[in-house]
């Protein structure tokens, strides 16, 4: 059975979310079972929106923001292949 990945799962993986270990274990289980993974075409925007909200609420910090003037987690081309 295929799994559809929600943006919240990806956000949990890259933040200090207390569910991070559980999410990582689920991704590992999907990988070991060779489950096909799918994501909505807007997943990058959904993740960026969630991270922006966490950053604005000061629930996460961006250590690189002073170096480039923009958050380090923003992905610019050609990061998507």
Number of domains, the chain: 1
* Within a domain: 39: yes
* Within a domain: 37: yes
* Within a domain: 80: no
- CA dist 54 and 48 (Å) reads 10
* Within a domain: 76: no
* Within a domain: 48: yes
The domain containing residue 54 runs over which residues? 3-68
Residue 5: how many CB atoms within 10 A of its CB? 14
* 6-25 pLDDT, tens digit each: 999 999 998 888 899 999 99
Mean pLDDT over all residues of the chain?
Answer: 80
Query: Between the CA of residue 59 and those of 26, 34, 54, 68, 77, what are the distances in Å?
Result: 24, 34, 5, 21, 27
Give residue 28's pLDDT. Answer: 96
The pLDDT of residue 74 is above 90:
no
* Within a domain: 12: yes
* Within a domain: 45: yes
């Amino acid at each position: 059975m295929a799994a559809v990945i929600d943006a919240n799962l990806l956000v949990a993986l890259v933040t200090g979310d207390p569910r991070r270990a559980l999410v990582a274990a689920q991704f590992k289980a999907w990988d070991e079972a060779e489950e096909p993974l799918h994501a909505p075409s807007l997943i990058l925007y959904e993740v960026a929106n969630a991270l922006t909200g966490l950053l604005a609420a000061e629930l996460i910090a961006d250590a690189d923001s002073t170096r480039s003037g923009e958050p380090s987690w923003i992905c610019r081309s050609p990061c998507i292949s």
